[in-house]
């Protein structure tokens, strides 16, 4: 990658971090980038804020996920921007600026794996590592027109990755091409990617109804293809409580965990955040014990409901995001409302610990919007195999 390319799309950090892939591996010839939450031995992890970088020593070890890709032959081209300590869903970073969405000019790229999505969508690398706690791979995949996956919680080792909310944090990646997406997946999952077809697709009516008018239409053809490929199709309401109730539980659990993760550092160093991220932390800290207990109690119930739709090789289909990428430059109050709506859809898989893959199969007025499949825990390679088949 030339220095000129490295500056395009404001995708990469200024850290000059490159790793050469092992010779002769299955990913030889492919390049990737890693979100600046992944440790690279000898380099400082930035985490999207200069104060994190400046208050931590260089990493002693390289994150396993990066090491797996390099061992498989892929070249790491650099580190990519992220929302501050991964606490954002739109990719707007007040310290380093917002990476450009090459697929939707004038609009946010999505986050927090914003630079990874920009680098891939802009053709600077073949694929990129992100992380997904509350939607941070799926959302930029949807907004930038990419394949992206949130893996089964705990499936891909997350050592050496700056954590946020450990019971939600997962590894994910993004690619333009389903075949390359699958090759990267084989290395990261340490598994073959099978040809696979779900026996049943459950179309999540409440999730589609929650999306903007037009999203269902934009995804109709893809949904039809998907349903045709699968064994059978059904419609269902996922949450009889209401998806907004599940969203609240996600907000409470993730917010509490994120505060616990960063509290000591914040207390010791008074780091600078954009106001919105500081507010998110305080909101997370301030949930009551009663709200926390309600959310803890609800999570296994939600998991059982989601599991019931995924039994016997079923998948759930839903819009990845309720709208395509929002315009840049909006107020925080406007973006806060939009953020709540996005996370209402991404919270489902996060609460249940299931994998979810976003397929770049929808367009509204020229803007990408993703169709998502949620699969059973541990079915990551099946979902990827199905995506490859649909693209083939």
| Catalytic residue list | 35, 112, 136
Nearer of residues 12 and 281 to its own copies, judged by Cβ:
281
Between CA 239 and CA 151 the distance in angstroms is 22
Which of 4, 60, 240, 268 touches its own copies by CB under 8 A? 268
Nearer of residues 271 and 362 to its own copies, judged by Cβ:
271
Instruction: Decide: is 278 part of the binding site for its own copies (CB under 8 A).
Output: yes
From the list 87-95, 141-149, 165-173, 374-382, the region that binds its own copies by CB under 8 A is: 87-95
Q: Which of residues 50-79 bind its own copies (CB under 8 A)?
A: 51
Instruction: Decide: is 94 part of the binding site for its own copies (CB under 8 A).
Output: yes
Calculate ∠ Cα 92-107-179, nearest 5°: 95
Instruction: Decide: is 255 part of the binding site for its own copies (CB under 8 A).
Output: no
Nearer of residues 192 and 279 to its own copies, judged by Cβ:
279
State the nearest-atom distance from the C-beta of 90 to its own copies, in Å: 11
State the nearest-atom distance from the C-beta of 222 to its own copies, in Å: 35
Task: Yes or no: say if 314 and 201 are a contact pair by the CB < 8 Å rule.
Answer: yes
Which of 36, 39, 83, 92 touches its own copies by CB under 8 A? 92
Cβ burial 293-310 (10 Å sphere, 16+ → b, else e): ebbeebbeebeebbeebb
Instruction: Decide: is 332 part of the binding site for its own copies (CB under 8 A).
Output: yes
Calculate ∠ Cα 210-216-200, nearest 5°: 95
Nearest to 276 by CA among 80, 92, 113: 92
Q: Is the dihedral of CA 118, 123, 124, 129 positive or negative?
A: positive
From the list 136-144, 223-231, 268-276, 381-389, the region that binds its own copies by CB under 8 A is: 268-276
Angle (deg, nearest 10), helices 380-391 and 178-189: 160
State the nearest-atom distance from the C-beta of 74 to its own copies, in Å: 35
Instruction: Decide: is 266 part of the binding site for its own copies (CB under 8 A).
Output: yes
User: For 83, how many CA atoms within 13 A lie in the half-sphere containing its CB?
Assistant: 31
Between CA 268 and CA 280 the distance in angstroms is 19
State the nearest-atom distance from the C-beta of 330 to its own copies, in Å: 9
Residue 189's SS3 state is helix
Task: Yes or no: say if 102 and 121 are a contact pair by the CB < 8 Å rule.
Answer: yes
Count residues contacting its own copies (CB under 8 A)?
21
Between CA 283 and CA 346 the distance in angstroms is 19
State the nearest-atom distance from the C-beta of 309 to its own copies, in Å: 38
Q: Which H or E run contains 45? A: none
State the nearest-atom distance from the C-beta of 139 to its own copies, in Å: 18
Q: 280-319 mask for its own copies (x: CB under 8 A)?
A: -xx-------------------------------------
- In the complex, the residues that contact its own copies under the rule CB under 8 A are 51, 92, 94-95, 266-268, 270-276, 278-279, 281-282, 331-333
């Amino acid at each position: 990658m030339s220095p000129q390319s490295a500056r395009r799309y404001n995708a990469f950090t200024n850290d000059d971090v490159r790793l050469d892939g092992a010779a002769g591996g299955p990913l030889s010839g492919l390049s990737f980038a890693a979100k600046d939450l992944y440790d690279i031995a000898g380099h400082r992890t930035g985490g999207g804020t200069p104060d994190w970088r400046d208050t931590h020593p260089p990493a002693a070890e390289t994150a396993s996920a990066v090491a797996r890709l390099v061992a498989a032959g892929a070249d790491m081209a650099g580190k990519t921007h992220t929302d501050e300590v991964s606490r954002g869903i739109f990719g707007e970073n007040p310290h380093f600026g917002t990476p450009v969405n090459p697929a939707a000019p004038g609009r946010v790229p999505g986050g927090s794996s914003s630079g990874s999505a920009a680098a891939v969508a802009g053709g600077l690398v073949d694929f990129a590592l992100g992380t997904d706690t509350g939607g941070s791979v799926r959302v930029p995949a949807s907004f930038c027109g990419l394949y992206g996956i949130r893996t089964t919680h705990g499936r891909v080792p997350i050592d050496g990755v700056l954590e946020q909310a450990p019971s939600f944090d997962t590894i994910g990646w993004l690619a333009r091409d389903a075949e390359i997406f699958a090759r990267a997946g084989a290395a990261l999952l340490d598994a073959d990617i099978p040809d696979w077809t779900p026996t049943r697709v459950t179309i999540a009516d409440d999730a589609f109804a929650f999306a903007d008018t037009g999203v269902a239409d934009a995804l109709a053809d893809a949904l039809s293809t998907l349903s045709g490929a699968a064994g059978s199709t059904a419609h269902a309401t996922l949450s009889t409580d209401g998806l907004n109730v599940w969203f609240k539980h996600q907000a409470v659990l993730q917010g509490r965990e994120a505060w616990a993760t960063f509290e000591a550092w914040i207390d010791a160093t008074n780091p600078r955040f954009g106001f919105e991220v500081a507010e998110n932390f305080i909101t997370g800290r301030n949930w009551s014990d009663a709200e926390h207990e309600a959310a803890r109690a609800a999570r296994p119930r939600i998991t059982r409901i989601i599991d019931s739709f995924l039994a016997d090789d079923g998948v759930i289909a839903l819009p990845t995001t309720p709208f395509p990428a929002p315009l840049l430059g909006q107020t925080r109050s406007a973006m806060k409302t939009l953020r709540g709506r996005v996370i209402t859809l991404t919270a489902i898989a996060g609460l249940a610990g299931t994998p979810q893959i976003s397929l770049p199969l929808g367009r509204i007025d020229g803007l990408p919007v993703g169709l998502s499949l949620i699969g059973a825990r541990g079915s990551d390679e099946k979902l990827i195999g199905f995506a490859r088949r649909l693209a083939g």
